[in-house]
Amino acid sequence: MIFIGYKSLAKCPSKKGRKSGIFVLILVNFKILQDAFFLGFSPYLCPLKFKTLAPKFSKETYLYWYELMLLLRRFEEKTGQLYGMQKIRGFCHLYIGQEALAAGCMTATNPDDKFITAYRDHGLAIAKGITSNSCMAELYGKATGCSKGKGGSMHFFGLKENFFGGHGIVGAQIGTGAGLAFAERYRGTNNVVLCFFGDGAARQGMLHETFNMAMLWDLPIVFICENNHYAMGTSVARTSKTLDIYKTADAYEMPSDTIDGMSPEEVHNGVLRAVNRAREKGGPTLLEIKTYRYKGHSMSDPQKYRTKEELEEYKDRDPIDHVLRVLQTEYKVTDEEIEVIIERVKKEVEDSVTFAEESPWPDESELLKDVYIQQDYPFIMD
């Protein structure tokens, strides 16, 4: 057995009026963790679902973060390569640089919690548990894809994984996310919804209508603005007088916070505060998580709105490199152990490409399916 020290939850994630926590000890069966992480470890099945804030994270947590973030990075790099080879068509938005956000959110939530996001959805979908195979097949438009090949890059979906998209209309998922949260409250569950949107969507009217209703009904939802600073290609400073997006919540007396999105530790603790508050019937929270995408908005973006120097500054803070340094310096993880993870991730990505290449195209009979769930819908005419 090993001892891990954690602080208890602060009641309110807002910067105003946070309460101090108490120190508790958690007993962890190291054998169980060792089996989970070193004998066929899958980054989708993280057993470390602590409900308290962590002043220091365990070796196993960092191993989980490292493998998950590396998988997301390599999957997206391969996606970009395949797009250039015209294996993948249509719109495509890569998550490279934003992996710490997905990693921290995963360790701060439970499998039954719902995720819903915009069209930069590959990273969150894989983190939530949709397999690399079905994600790559969806990018190829194959029948074995997570949306049967009908959604493509922007419309990943996984019902059993509690991943609800993947939405192409800017800001549309904000209202849908509140609807998911309303359903959880109506059913009397203890689940929370994480609703992700970009800084560009923060200017949509849907956000304000939803914030008002979510606060009125105390919905169990965490609104997460993935602020990568440039929306489609225009900086926040050129589109809003309010540069701190988290302050938008003040008009609705909604707790809010701003978080360093290049740090999985900060993301974990910030999201956990908000998630625990929602579970305690404390209502919604807005988190502005400041991150950075290394690639363009989409594959056709020339990125003339930012400097190469700025990009390199963020790469110097790369979350994967940071976690690797912690593993090597603080936990003395060997190069051989890291190489095992690297090879495992490499194989998974390669296998996903093979799976997508060998998968069949959707049958013509699928064309009108999944449009309406009601088979005898009366307004469909031949």
Domain ranges of the chain: 61-299+309-359
Q: How many whole angstroms separate alpha carbon 130 and alpha carbon 123? A: 10
| CB 217, CB 182: distance < 8 Å | yes
Identify the CA nearest to 1 among candidates 34, 42, 46, 48: 34
pLDDT digits (tens, 9 = 90+) for 267-280: 999 999 999 999 99
Of 148, 152, 144, the closest CA to residue 119 belongs to: 152
> How far is residue 370's CA from residue 368's CA, in Å, rounded to a whole number?
7
Alpha carbons 305 and 301: distance in angstroms, whole number: 10
Residue 51: pLDDT band (50, 70, 90) is low
Query: Does 178 score more than 60 pLDDT?
Result: yes
Q: What is the per-residue pLDDT for 42?
A: 54
Per-residue exposure over 63-79, b if at least 16 CB sit within 10 Å of its own CB, e if not: bbbbbbbbbbbbbbebb
Over residues 140-159, mean pLDDT: 96
CB-CB contact of 172 with 206 (8 Å): yes
Residue 66 pLDDT more than 90? yes
User: How would residue 67 be classed by pLDDT, with cut points 50, 70 and 90?
Assistant: very high
Rounded distance, CA 7 to CA 52, Å? 6
Instruction: Compute φ and ψ for 70, nearest 5 degrees.
Output: -65, -40
Tokens of 306: 């930012």
Q: Give the pLDDT score at 323.
A: 97
Cα separation, 268 vs 270, in Å, equals: 6
**For position 382, what pLDDT does the model report?**
64
- Chain-wide mean pLDDT for the chain? 85
Burial class, 334, CB count within 10 angstroms (exposed 0-12 / middle 13-18 / buried 19+): exposed
Q: How confident is the model at residue 371 (pLDDT cuts 50, 70, 90)?
A: confident
Convert the pLDDT of each residue in 211-269 to its tens digit: 999 999 999 999 999 998 777 777 777 777 787 999 999 999 999 999 999 999 999 99
Cα separation, 201 vs 208, whole angstroms: 11
pLDDT score at 7: 33
Question: Does the pLDDT at position 77 exceed 80?
Answer: yes
pLDDT digits (tens, 9 = 90+) for 12-46: 334 333 333 333 333 334 333 333 333 334 554 44
Report d(CA 357, CA 114) in Å as an integer. 30
With a pLDDT cut of 70, the percent of the chain lying above it is 85
Task: Write down the H helix ranges in 85-121.
Answer: 99-108
Question: Which pairing describes strands 2-7 and 23-28: parallel, antiparallel, or unpaired?
Answer: antiparallel
Which has more pLDDT, 373 or 273? 273
Averaged pLDDT, 62-83 = 96
Tokens, residue 337: 């152990």
pLDDT at 190 over 90: yes
The neighbouring-strand residues paired with 196 are: 224
CATH of domain 61-299+309-359: 3.40.50.970
* Distance of alpha carbon 256 from alpha carbon 12, whole angstroms: 9
| Structure-token pair, residue 71 | 């998988």
pLDDT at residue 157, rounded to an integer: 96
Average pLDDT over residues 88-106: 93
What pLDDT score does 43 carry?
Answer: 52
Closest CA to 189 of 278, 72, 260: 278
Report DSSP state, residue 163: B
Taking the C-alpha atoms of residue 44 and residue 63, their distance in angstroms, rounded to an integer, is 12
C-alpha 77/C-alpha 25 separation (Å) is: 40
Q: Where do we find the tokens 């438009």?
A: 141
Range with lowest mean pLDDT among 83-87, 142-146, 229-233: 229-233
* Location of structure tokens 């938005």: 93
Band of pLDDT at residue 295, cut at 50, 70 and 90 = confident
Nearest by Cα to 173 from 129, 133, 226, 218: 226
Whole-number pLDDT of residue 108: 96
Locate 235 and state its tokens.
């900086």
What's the confidence (pLDDT) of residue 41?
Answer: 40
In a 3-state reduction of DSSP, which class is residue 334? coil
Tokens 């005898």 — which residue? 376
